[in-house]
A and B are shown apart, each in its own frame.
Chain A
Amino acid sequence: MTRIIVGPFNRVEGDLELALDVTDGVVREARVSANLYRGFEQILIGRPSEDALVIAPRICGICSVSQSLAVAAMLRAAQSVTPAPNGLLLTNIAHAAENIADHLTHFYVFFMPDFARPCYAGRPWFEATEARFKATVGTGARTALPARAGLLEIMGIIAGKWPHSLAFRAGGVAHAPELSEKVRLFAILARFRAFLEQSLFGAPLEAVTALQSAADLDAFVGREGRSGDFASFVKIARDLSLEAMGRGPGLMMSGGAYLGAQGHHFPAGLFDARKSALRDFSLADVREDVAHSFMRESDPEPAKAQTFPALDREGAYSFAKAPRLLGEPVEVGALARQAVAGHPLIRELIARAGASNVFARVVARLLEIALLTQAAEAWANAIELKEKFCVADAPAQDGPALGCIEAARGMLGHWATLREDRYTAYQIVAPTTWNFSPRCAAGRPGPLESALEGQEVGDDGAASAAVQHIVRSFDPCMVCTAH
Chain B
Amino acid sequence: MSALESGAAGWFAELRAFGIELIWHPSVSEATGGEVLAILDRVERGALRLDALVVEGSVLCGPDGTGRFNTLSGSGRSLLDWISSLAPLADYCIAVGSCAAFGGIPAAAPDPTDARGLQYRARETGGALGPDYRSRAGLPVINISGCAPHPGWIMETLQALSLGLFSRADMDSFGRPKLFADHLAHHGCSRNEFYEFKASAEEFFERGCLMEHLGCKATQAVGDCNQRAWNGSGSCTHSGSTCIACTSPGFEAATGFMHTPKVAGIPVGLPLDMPKAWFVALAALSKSATPKRVSENARSDRIERAPEPGAEKKT
Please name all residues of chain A whose beta carbon is closer than 8 Å to the beta carbon of B241 when the two chains form the complex.
159-161, 165-167, 174
Contact at B257–A160, with CB atoms within 8 Å?
no
Interface residue from B5, B9, B69 paired with A142 (Cβ < 8 Å): B9
Contact at A160–B239, with CB atoms within 8 Å?
yes
Please name all residues of chain B whose beta carbon is closer than 8 Å to the beta carbon of A349 when the two chains form the complex.
none
In the bound complex, CA of A48 to CA of B257 (Å): 9
A31-39, A193-201, A367-375, A394-402 - the one binding chain B: A31-39
Cβ-based interface call for A463 (8 A) = yes
Cβ-based interface call for B232 (8 A) = yes
Within 8 A of A (CB), among B2-56: 2, 4-13, 22, 24-34, 36-37
Interface residue from B5, B28, B73, B110 paired with A148 (Cβ < 8 Å): B5
Contact at B240–A160, with CB atoms within 8 Å?
yes
Cβ-based interface call for B109 (8 A) = yes
Closest to B76 in A: A5
Contact at B233–A153, with CB atoms within 8 Å?
yes
Interface core residue of B8, B58, B71, B244 (most chain A CB under 10 Å)? B71
Please name all residues of chain B whose beta carbon is closer than 8 Å to the beta carbon of A390 when the two chains form the complex.
204-205, 301
Within 8 A of B (CB), among A98-140: 105, 109-110, 113, 116-117, 134-137
In the bound complex, CA of A115 to CA of B72 (Å): 25
Cβ-based interface call for A47 (8 A) = yes
Contact at B69–A309, with CB atoms within 8 Å?
yes
Contact at B231–A153, with CB atoms within 8 Å?
yes
Contact at B113–A37, with CB atoms within 8 Å?
yes
Please name all residues of chain B whose beta carbon is closer than 8 Å to the beta carbon of A150 when the two chains form the complex.
232
In the bound complex, CA of A174 to CA of B106 (Å): 26
In the bound complex, CA of A161 to CA of B228 (Å): 11
Within 8 A of B (CB), among A176-201: 176, 178, 184, 188
In the bound complex, CA of A103 to CA of B11 (Å): 18
Contact at B26–A176, with CB atoms within 8 Å?
no
A301 CB to nearest chain B CB (Å): 22
In the bound complex, CA of A137 to CA of B203 (Å): 48
Closest to A35 in B: B71
Tell whether A35 pairs with B5 under 8 Å between CB atoms, given A161-B230, A165-B241, A174-B205: no
B184 CB to nearest chain A CB (Å): 17
Contact at B105–A8, with CB atoms within 8 Å?
no
A463 CB to nearest chain B CB (Å): 7
Cβ-based interface call for A61 (8 A) = yes
Contact at A165–B239, with CB atoms within 8 Å?
yes
Cβ-based interface call for A172 (8 A) = yes
Please name all residues of chain A whose beta carbon is closer than 8 Å to the beta carbon of B200 when the two chains form the complex.
none
Cβ-based interface call for A328 (8 A) = no
B151-180: contact bitstring with A at CB < 8 Å (1 yes, 0 no)? 000000000000000000000000000000
Cβ-based interface call for A78 (8 A) = no
Contact at B68–A174, with CB atoms within 8 Å?
no
Please name all residues of chain A whose beta carbon is closer than 8 Å to the beta carbon of B244 when the two chains form the complex.
54, 166
Please name all residues of chain B whose beta carbon is closer than 8 Å to the beta carbon of A353 when the two chains form the complex.
none
Cβ-based interface call for A141 (8 A) = yes
B58-87: contact bitstring with A at CB < 8 Å (1 yes, 0 no)? 101001000011111111000000000000
Contact at B74–A5, with CB atoms within 8 Å?
yes
Contact at B302–A178, with CB atoms within 8 Å?
yes
Tell whether A50 pairs with B258 under 8 Å between CB atoms, given A61-B1, A161-B231: yes
Cβ-based interface call for B283 (8 A) = no
| Interface band, chain A | 35 or more
A83 CB to nearest chain B CB (Å): 12
Cβ-based interface call for B144 (8 A) = no
Contact at B73–A33, with CB atoms within 8 Å?
yes
Closest to A145 in B: B10
Within 8 A of A (CB), among B98-156: 104-106, 108-110, 112-113, 115, 147-148, 150
Please name all residues of chain A whose beta carbon is closer than 8 Å to the beta carbon of B260 when the two chains form the complex.
none
Cβ-based interface call for A365 (8 A) = no
In the bound complex, CA of A389 to CA of B300 (Å): 12
Cβ-based interface call for B238 (8 A) = yes
B211 CB to nearest chain A CB (Å): 15
A347-376: contact bitstring with B at CB < 8 Å (1 yes, 0 no)? 000000000000000000000000000000
A228 CB to nearest chain B CB (Å): 19
A296 CB to nearest chain B CB (Å): 12
Cβ-based interface call for B310 (8 A) = no
Interface residue from B12, B25, B30, B257 paired with A51 (Cβ < 8 Å): B257
Interface residue from B11, B26, B71, B240 paired with A145 (Cβ < 8 Å): B11
Please name all residues of chain A whose beta carbon is closer than 8 Å to the beta carbon of B69 when the two chains form the complex.
36-38, 309, 319
Contact at B12–A463, with CB atoms within 8 Å?
no
Tell whether A135 pairs with B30 under 8 Å between CB atoms, given A149-B5, A175-B205: yes
In the bound complex, CA of A58 to CA of B6 (Å): 21
Contact at B112–A38, with CB atoms within 8 Å?
yes
Cβ-based interface call for B295 (8 A) = no
Cβ-based interface call for A11 (8 A) = yes
Tell whether A142 pairs with B32 under 8 Å between CB atoms, given A48-B255, A174-B240: no
In the bound complex, CA of A105 to CA of B10 (Å): 12
Contact at A8–B112, with CB atoms within 8 Å?
no
Please name all residues of chain B whose beta carbon is closer than 8 Å to the beta carbon of A136 when the two chains form the complex.
12, 22, 28-30
Contact at A142–B13, with CB atoms within 8 Å?
yes
Please name all residues of chain A whose beta carbon is closer than 8 Å to the beta carbon of B248 when the two chains form the complex.
none
Cβ-based interface call for B188 (8 A) = no
Contact at A37–B231, with CB atoms within 8 Å?
no
Cβ-based interface call for A7 (8 A) = yes
Interface residue from A7, A13, A153, A184 paired with B27 (Cβ < 8 Å): A13
Please name all residues of chain A whose beta carbon is closer than 8 Å to the beta carbon of B246 when the two chains form the complex.
164
Please name all residues of chain B whose beta carbon is closer than 8 Å to the beta carbon of A463 when the two chains form the complex.
33-34
Contact at B242–A166, with CB atoms within 8 Å?
yes
Contact at B2–A176, with CB atoms within 8 Å?
no
Cβ-based interface call for A441 (8 A) = no
Cβ-based interface call for B247 (8 A) = no
Contact at A43–B106, with CB atoms within 8 Å?
yes
In the bound complex, CA of A172 to CA of B204 (Å): 11
B189 CB to nearest chain A CB (Å): 12
Please name all residues of chain B whose beta carbon is closer than 8 Å to the beta carbon of A381 when the two chains form the complex.
none
Cβ-based interface call for B270 (8 A) = no
- Chain A contacts to B: CB under 8 angstroms: 5-13, 15-17, 33, 35-40, 42-43, 47-48, 50-51, 53-55, 58, 61-62, 105, 109-110, 113, 116-117, 134-137, 141-146, 148-150, 152-167, 169, 171-176, 178, 184, 188, 309, 311, 319, 388-390, 392, 462-463, 468
A-B contact pairs, 22 of them (CB 8 A): A6-B74, A7-B74, A8-B36, A11-B27, A15-B72, A15-B73, A17-B71, A17-B74, A35-B72, A39-B112, A62-B1, A136-B29, A149-B5, A155-B230, A159-B234, A161-B150, A162-B230, A171-B205, A174-B241, A176-B205, A389-B205, A463-B34
Further pairs besides A33-B73, A156-B233: 9, Cβ < 8 Å: A8-B72, A17-B73, A157-B232, A160-B241, A163-B2, A165-B241, A166-B239, A173-B240, A174-B241
